[in-house]
Structure 1
Amino acid sequence: MILEKNNGKNRKKERRKRLVKFKTPYYVIHEDELDENFNKLKDALETYWNNYIIGYSYKTNALPWIIKHFDSLGCYAETVSEDEYNLAKLIGVAKNRIIYNGPIKTKNSFLEALQNECIVNIDSQREVEWLREVELKKRTVGIRINFNIEKMCPGQSQCPEEGGRFGFCYENGELSKVIKSLKEKKVKISGIHLHTSSKSRGLDIYRAIAEIACKLQKEFELDLDYVDVGGGFFGGLPTKPQFDEYIALMENILSTCFDKTKTKLIVEPGMAVIGAPVTYITRVIDVKDTEFNRFVITDGTRTSIDPLMTKSSYFHSFEIDGPREVHPNQIICGYTCMEHDRLFEEKDGPTLQSGDYIVYNKVGAYTMCLTPLFIKYFPDVYVEANGNLKKVRSAWTPTEYVQRSVLE
Structure 2
Amino acid sequence: MILEKCSGKKKGRGKPVKFKTPYYMIHEQELDENFKKLKDALEKHWNNYIIGYSYKTNALPWVIKHFDLLGCYAETVSEDEYNLAKLIGVGKNHIIYNGPVKTKDSFMEALQNGCIVNIDSQREVEWLEDIEIENRRIGIRINFDIEKMCPGQSQCPEDGGRFGFCYENGELSKIIKKLQEKKVKIAGIHLHTSSKSRGLDIYRAIAEIACKVQKEFELDLDYVDVGGGFFGGLPTKPQFDEYIALMENILSTCFDKTKTKLIVEPGMAVIGAPISYVTSVIDVKDTEFNRFVVTDGTRTSIDPLMTKNSYFHSFDIKSQRDTHPKQVICGYTCMEHDRLFEEKNGPTLQCGDQIIYDKVGAYTMCLTPLFIKYFPDVYVELNGNVKKIRSAWTPNEYVQRSELE
> One fold, TM greater than 0.5?
yes
Partner of 2:164: 167
Partner of 1:264: 261
Structure 1 gaps of 5+ residues are 1-13
2:387 to 379, 387, 390: 390
AA paired with 1:62? Answer: A
Cα distance between partner residues in 1 of 2:208 and 2:386: 45
Cα distance between partner residues in 1 of 2:320 and 2:280: 18
Cα distance between partner residues in 2 of 1:217 and 1:342: 49
Alignment of structure 1 residues 222-301 onto 2, 5 Å: 222-301=219-298
TM-score by length of 1: 0.96
Shift of 1:68: 0.1
Partner of 1:3: none
Partner of 2:3: none
Cα distance between partner residues in 2 of 1:322 and 1:370: 35
Cα distance between partner residues in 1 of 2:263 and 2:397: 37
Shift of 1:114: 0.2
Q: Using the aligned pairs only, state the percent identity.
A: 85
Alignment of structure 1 residues 65-214 onto 2, 5 Å: 65-214=62-211
Cα distance between partner residues in 2 of 1:322 and 1:378: 31
Partner of 1:9: none
Shift of 1:174: 0.4
**Residues 98-141 of structure 1: CA deviation (Å, up to 9, x unaligned):** 00000000000000000001000000000000000000000000
**Residues 220-257 of structure 1: CA deviation (Å, up to 9, x unaligned):** 00000000000000000000000000000000000000
Cα distance between partner residues in 2 of 1:217 and 1:233: 24
Cα distance between partner residues in 1 of 2:15 and 2:278: 12
Partner of 1:367: 364
Query: Does residue 215 of structure 2 align to residue 218 of structure 1?
Result: yes
**Residues 3-35 of structure 1: CA deviation (Å, up to 9, x unaligned):** xxxxxxxxxxx945x22xx11000000000000
TM-score by length of 2: 0.96
AA paired with 1:341? Answer: D
Cα distance between partner residues in 1 of 2:166 and 2:205: 16
> Runs of 4 or more off by more than 2 Å in structure 1?
none
Shift of 1:346: 0.2
**Residues 51-83 of structure 1: CA deviation (Å, up to 9, x unaligned):** 000000000000000000000000000000000
| Alignment RMSD | 0.6
Cα distance between partner residues in 1 of 2:111 and 2:241: 33
Query: Does residue 350 of structure 2 align to residue 348 of structure 1?
Result: no
Contact 2:15/2:384 (<8 A) preserved: no
Query: Does residue 325 of structure 2 align to residue 328 of structure 1?
Result: yes
The structure, 1 or 2, with the larger RCO (C-alpha pairs under 8 Å, 6+ apart) is 2
Shift of 1:321: 1.4
Cα distance between partner residues in 2 of 1:234 and 1:66: 19
Cα distance between partner residues in 2 of 1:222 and 1:209: 16
Contact 2:272/2:359 (<8 A) preserved: yes
AA paired with 2:143? Answer: N
Shift of 1:403: 0.1
Cα distance between partner residues in 2 of 1:365 and 1:322: 33
Cα distance between partner residues in 2 of 1:385 and 1:185: 52
Cα distance between partner residues in 2 of 1:382 and 1:40: 24
AA paired with 2:151? Answer: P
Cα distance between partner residues in 1 of 2:124 and 2:72: 26
AA paired with 1:278? Answer: I
Count of residues in Structure 1 that have an aligned counterpart in Structure 2: 392
Structure 2 gaps of 5+ residues are 1-13
Cα distance between partner residues in 1 of 2:374 and 2:248: 45
Cα distance between partner residues in 2 of 1:129 and 1:355: 60
Contact 2:78/2:99 (<8 A) preserved: yes
